[in-house]
Amino acid sequence: MSVARWRFRWDGAGQKIAVGDVDKGAMAQVRDDLAAANIEAIVEFCDVTSLESLNALADSTEAAFGRIDLVFANAGIGAGESGAMWDYSEKDWQWCFNVNMWGVINSIRAFMPRLVARNEEAHFVVTGSGNGALLVYPDQPIYTASKAAVHAITENLHYQVQAAQSPVKVSALFPGPHVVDTGLFNSGRVRPQELKKDVEGNASGISSVDDMKRMCAEFGIELQTTHPDEVAEMAVTGLQNDAFWLLSTTPETDAKIRSRASMILNRETPVPNMVGA
Ligand SMILES: NC(=O)c1ccc[n+]([C@@H]2O[C@H](COP(=O)([O-])OP(=O)(O)OC[C@H]3O[C@@H](n4cnc5c(N)ncnc54)[C@H](O)[C@@H]3O)[C@@H](O)[C@H]2O)c1
């Protein structure tokens, strides 16, 4: 979760940033990085599964910077699931939906009333995933389902600000075009104790992008990756153009999306796509 006062100087000059997260080590790192770049920032603990926590972040951002121009509802986790979904721990479903779906709902409830009430240009960006929003990959049903819900919420939010004739713009950010090399595959580091797995045998065994590369190689697939900076550049360029879709795809992904649409229109029985294939 991050919020900013940028006054629409997209070159970054004069920007002020508030970052909320539950990972205290990562927060210390981001605080140092922003200070080294001479960016005025507040970095504070914020758990997106709690509306109170997000309201507190919104309050301290407004108190420090006066106003909020950009909101990124970006927090997300991978539940690390594998195997048959009917054998999963209920806690895998709860944790993933708490962060990925309720985190977005809580962010909307904490920030949108403030942005809409100000009645000036502002942007609300939700990080979704093509896995769920655009395609249904077969091996991470909890994550995929959570991101399907996130996309439905985001697109509806876009329709609702338009219907309300609000100057606030909503955008759907899809990190990519390839798997982005981040901490997502090691989300277990921020899993709350009370929602720890209580079923043996449904862990994916993947805790990094390198693990994922190795697993893909076993299926003869060479997994490509994208650097996070590339995603940030794509997002800022899209936001400058008021784009809803902050989406960068490969021709292969486009083909999968077309094939899925045609499968639906032709009432064909679904066949699974593989990540990276
Ligand atoms: N990495 C990819 O390939 C990829 C692809 C598509 C979508 N995404 C999405 O991008 C977003 C960012 O993920 P990332 O890939 O940078 O992974 P990441 O793990 O590096 O970043 C996610 C951040 O969310 C934080 N977080 C987790 N639970 C939280 C909570 N309860 N409250 C507040 N913060 C919490 C983590 O501490 C972490 O800093 C996620 O929504 C993810 O689903 C990532």
Taking CA atoms only, the protein residue closest to ligand 1 atom 26 is: 75
- pLDDT above 90 (res 129): yes
- pLDDT above 90 (res 120): yes
The predicted model gives 105-119 an average pLDDT of 98
Residue-wise pLDDT for 232-272, tens only, equals 999 999 999 999 999 999 999 999 999 999 999 999 999 98
Residue-wise pLDDT for 1-21, tens only, equals 676 655 445 566 688 999 999
Q: Which fold has domain 2-202+224-249?
A: Rossmann fold (3.40.50)
Ligand 1 center to residue 265 CA distance, Å? 33
Ligand 1 center to residue 191 CA distance, Å? 12
Task: Tell me phi and psi for residue 21, to 5 degrees.
Answer: -160, 170
Taking CA atoms only, the protein residue closest to ligand 1 atom 41 is: 76
3-state SS record for the chain: CEEEECCCCCCCCCCEEEEEECCHHHHHHHHHHHHHCCCEEEEEECCCCCHHHHHHHHHHHHHHHCCCCEEEECCCCCCCECCCHHHCCHHHHHHHHHHHHHHHHHHHHHHHHHHHHHCCCEEEEEECCHHHHCECCCCCHHHHHHHHHHHHHHHHHHHHHHHCCCCEEEEEEECCCCEECCCHHHHHHHCCHHHCCCCCCCECCCCCHHHHHHHHHHCCCCCCEECHHHHHHHHHHHHHCCCCEEECCCHHHHHHHHHHHHHHHCCCCCCCCCCCC
- pLDDT above 90 (res 276): no
- Report the pLDDT value the prediction gives residue 10, as an integer from 0 to 100: 58
- Report the pLDDT value the prediction gives residue 1, as an integer from 0 to 100: 64
The predicted model gives 98-102 an average pLDDT of 98
Rounded to two decimals, what is the model's pTM? 0.96
- Report the pLDDT value the prediction gives residue 14, as an integer from 0 to 100: 80
Residue-wise pLDDT for 166-212, tens only, equals 999 999 999 999 999 999 999 999 999 999 988 877 888 889 999 98
Ligand 1 center to residue 236 CA distance, Å? 18
Which of 147, 171, 190, when mutated, tests ligand 1's pocket best, judged by the most ligand atoms within 8 Å of its CB? 190
- Report the pLDDT value the prediction gives residue 78, as an integer from 0 to 100: 97
Ligand 1 center to residue 164 CA distance, Å? 30
- pLDDT above 70 (res 216): yes
Assess contact for 203 and 80: CB atoms under 8 A: yes
Output the ligand 1 site: residues, CB below 6 A: 1, 21-23, 26, 46-49, 74-77, 99, 127, 129, 175, 179-180, 182-184, 187, 190
Which atom of ligand 1 is least distant from the CA of 178? 3
Residue-wise pLDDT for 32-64, tens only, equals 999 999 999 999 999 999 999 999 999 999 999
Ligand 1 center to residue 4 CA distance, Å? 18
- pLDDT above 80 (res 26): yes
Q: What percent of the chain has pLDDT over 70?
A: 95
- pLDDT above 70 (res 275): no
- Which of the four pLDDT bands, split at 50, 70 and 90, describes residue 273? confident
